[in-house]
Structure 1
């Protein structure tokens, strides 16, 4: 026959191992805080945007086909921006200590669907250097794209700026601590049920019936030394009235 566990039994197991569960939660939160604040290196990001457009016609109208062509060119631009042809010049201009391939991992190029605006985002432990990388990459791309594709339709929309108090993008200490608390609670509850499952000692009358399959005929209670001394010093009158503990006892 399959064994079932009730909600009351689940609550009892959690209450029984509550100290263990709380300890794991607090420990996980402390470790996450230490790692986030003191071990992981904070990183910052900065973005520069440019727009891909065409020259206005004499009639004052924009050619729809040229707009569509510019949108399709953006996918090509996204690849060119992260290519060594652009990034090697950025490395030399900023005198960076890493290669163009390593710089490529620090740059992300994105654009909304059917949008002519492209965003170049640079990430670095130095907030000022992140802004310089983003701006230099866009400027270098704007200067070299006419020679690479024989087009001149890139215009800088906004430059990356260094704020007074830049906000780090990673790590996120509060988020890491929250995740650690959830994981600590899950691990703690899991260990609590595992310990309860592995505990095969008999503690109650129900355990005897469930595990041994025999009925309980009687229970031998534990009598402490204090109970024995208390019974010894009771007067006959108090014994007849049930003793100091108020229980009814029969004299023999």
Structure 2
């Protein structure tokens, strides 16, 4: 006989294990909240913009070819900004407790497609330090690029501001809790169905019909102990209810 999925049975399983699903979900959300608020260290982000644009002159007017060259140079500049040549000076100027290689993991350079503007993005556990690193990196790069590339076409478009870096970008507690709730629900539902699958005890007439594939022709009701209280068997074998009555010896 082919097995069919009974939606009522599925919903019945969820209803029966609802307490378990809710408990797992609440525990997952609480753990996520505790870790997000009290365990994970906040990370702040600062951003400095630099413009790659050589000034035009009468001898070398600004044209589409020059702009395209500047755009192509940004890829090279991205590598130079995160190189030890630049970051070692940043470490010395700010007296940082990290190496240039470690600092390169905190510095990222991005730019939009076909844009002459590059963004120096720095992440750090201290907002002020992140701002100082971003601005100092831009300054050092602007100073050194003329000697490295024999070209002077970099200017700082906007410096990182401490006020803009005060809100941590991670962790995101609300997002983490929302994810934990979804995961908790999935785990709770999965565990509920697993327990139901492993439970092979017979509890109802429907279970008998499902397992034995036979119709139920009768059932014996459960008589609770309190229903038997105050009953006695007479010598003739007949049962008489004696609730509230006292019989002498």
TM surpasses 0.5: yes
Aligned to 2:154: 154
Q: Specify whether residues 3 and 180 from structure 1 end up closer, same or farther in structure 2 by C-alpha distance, changes over 3 A only.
A: same
The CA distance in 1 between the partners of 2:20 and 2:91, in whole Å, is: 53
Structure 2 distance, partners of 1:195, 1:14, is 11
Once residues 206 and 10 of structure 1 are traced to their aligned partners in structure 2, the CA distance between those partners, rounded to angstroms, is: 14
Give distance in 2, aligned partners of 1:114 and 1:25.
47
Structure 2 match to 1:132: 132
Tell me the CA shift for residue 62 of structure 1: 2.4
| Deviation digits for residues 204-248 of structure 1 (CA, Å, limit 9, x no counterpart) | 1121122123332321111112223477147xxxxxxxxxxxxxx
SS of equivalent to 2:162: coil
Moved more, 203-212 or 133-142: 203-212
Instruction: State the distance in 1 between where 2:22 and 2:161 align.
Output: 45
In structure 1, C-alpha distance between the alignment counterparts of 2:92 and 2:57, rounded to whole Å: 39
The aligned residue for residue 48 of structure 2 is: 48
Deviating above 3 A after TM superposition, structure 1's stretches of 4 or more consecutive aligned residues are: 57-61
Q: CA deviation at 1:7?
A: 2.2
Q: Which residue of 2 aligns with 1:196?
A: 196
Q: Is the 8 A contact 2:46 2:164 kept in 1?
A: no
Distance 2:39 2:101 in 1: 26
1:65 paired residue number? 65
Structure 2 counterpart of 1:141: 141
Which residue is equivalent to 1:101? 101
1:7-22 equivalence runs, <5 A: 7-22=7-22
Does the residue aligned with 1:144 lie in a helix, a strand or coil? helix
SS at match of 1:223: coil
Give SS of 1:163's match: helix
In the other structure, the counterpart of 1:76 is 76
Partner of 1:91: 91
Q: What do the CA deviations read for 1:173-224 (whole angstroms, capped 9, x no partner)?
A: 0000000000000000000000000000001112112212333232111111
**How far apart, in 1, do the equivalents of 2:164 and 2:61 lie?**
42
Aligned to 1:225: 225
Name the residue aligned to 2:171.
Answer: 171
The Cα shift of 1:10 comes to 1.7
TM-score (norm 2): 0.89
The answer to whether the 8 A contact 2:127-2:165 is kept is no
Cα distance in 1 for partners of 2:164, 2:148 equals 37
Report whether the alignment pairs 1:113 with 2:113: yes
RMSD of aligned alpha carbons: 1.9
Gaps of 5+ in 2: 232-240, 244-249
